[in-house]
Amino acid sequence: MNNLSIRKMNEVSKRKKKGFTLIELIIVIAIIAILAAIAIPKFGAVRTDANLAADKANAKIIATAVTTAVANGDITDVDATIATNNAHVIQYIDGGTMPKPKTGTGTAFNITYTKAGGVVITTTGGSQVYPVS
């Protein structure tokens, strides 16, 4: 009889150990919440950095197109503000369309060429993208 009661106790204790306690679940959820609170702001910073890098790359492409147009004689003004729809510049850009900025409040790139300063590219929001200062 004693052996039977020990066997019953073992079965009962095995049944109790199948799941997690409420405290254990709350601790796991709290740890996940803390990790999420740390990680989510980092994702926003990564997106902002990626958009800035894309704007710099696009500005470099535009600057190369303007420099090529000047070297080929398509743009002859010594000091000029070049329109973003300028066909002389667009023909040197792959895809034939002027890229748009991804960051800031700007909706287009402003291109200025001077013989002394070279190509300067800003967004319509006012931030200089190329050359990077």
Query: Which tens digits make up the pLDDT trace of 37-66?
Result: 998 888 888 888 888 888 889 889 988 888
Which strand (E) or helix (H) includes residue 96?
Answer: none
80-118 pLDDT tens trace: 778 777 787 888 888 888 888 887 666 788 888 888 888
- Region 68-76: what's the mean pLDDT? 83
Return the pLDDT at 39: 87
**5 belongs to a structural domain:** no
- Which residue range forms the structural domain that includes residue 32? 17-130
Residue 28 has pLDDT above 90, yes or no: yes
**95 belongs to a structural domain:** yes
Return the pLDDT at 105: 62
**7 belongs to a structural domain:** no
pLDDT band per the 50, 70, 90 thresholds, residue 35: very high
**115 belongs to a structural domain:** yes
Return the pLDDT at 16: 58
Alpha-carbon separation of residue 120 from 43, 66, 77 (angstroms)? 31, 10, 15
**9 belongs to a structural domain:** no
Return the pLDDT at 32: 96
**97 belongs to a structural domain:** yes
**38 belongs to a structural domain:** yes
**89 belongs to a structural domain:** yes
User: Using CA atoms, how far apart are residues 16 and 53, in angstroms rounded to an integer?
Assistant: 56
Peptide linkage before 131 cis (omega within 30 of 0) = yes
What is the per-residue DSSP string for 97-114? Answer: S-----SSS-SSEEEEEE
Q: Going edge to edge, which strands form the sheet with 128-130?
A: 79-82, 109-114, 118-123, 128-130
Q: Domain total for the chain? A: 1
What is the per-residue DSSP string for 10-70? Answer: HHHHHHHTSS--HHHHHHHHHHHHHHHHHHHHHHHHHHHHHHHHHHHHHHHHHHHHHHHHH
Radius of gyration in angstroms for the set of CA atoms belonging to the chain, rounded to a whole number: 31
